[in-house]
Structure 1
Amino acid sequence: MQAVVGDHVHMYSRSIGMVDRKGEIVEVRGTNGEPPYLVRFDDGHQGLVYPGPDCVVEHHLSEERR
């Protein structure tokens, strides 16, 4: 999995009653766009994310990727 600052992370809930979490990647701490990612979630909290199988990176179309 690779990402750049500005991409979004969608973490799907794994249990009934839990909600999905979405956020923006504000820092990439791995090499070559690899995890971990510092993510600012929609509720304002920030956390270090090591994406698992329940996580999708939604790429932001920047000038670099066009």
Structure 2
Amino acid sequence: MFKTIEDNGFVQIEYMIYIENDEISISYNYMTHSKIIEDFDEYTDYHSESEFSYIWQFKFISNKLHFIRLAIAG
């Protein structure tokens, strides 16, 4: 698994590539609640952004990489 997270204070964006046997997953995860501003309370002007995730799934079949599906949540 290879993963990196970017955090700008308002959102965290996670990029990940996961390889297991003949399957590969690539994901993009847009998350709220950054740790940078976790101590803010209801009196701040911070508003949660919407969260969503995309996961592209691939599989090697007969030595060729095939697209299996795109899973979306959010």
Which TM-score tier does this pair reach, normalised by the shorter chain?
0.3 to 0.5
Which protein has greater RCO, CA pairs closer than 8 Å, 6+ apart?
1
Q: State TM-score, norm by structure 1.
A: 0.36
Identify the structure with the greater strand proportion.
2
Identify the structure with the greater helix proportion.
1
Q: Which has the larger radius of gyration?
A: 2
Q: State TM-score, norm by structure 2.
A: 0.34
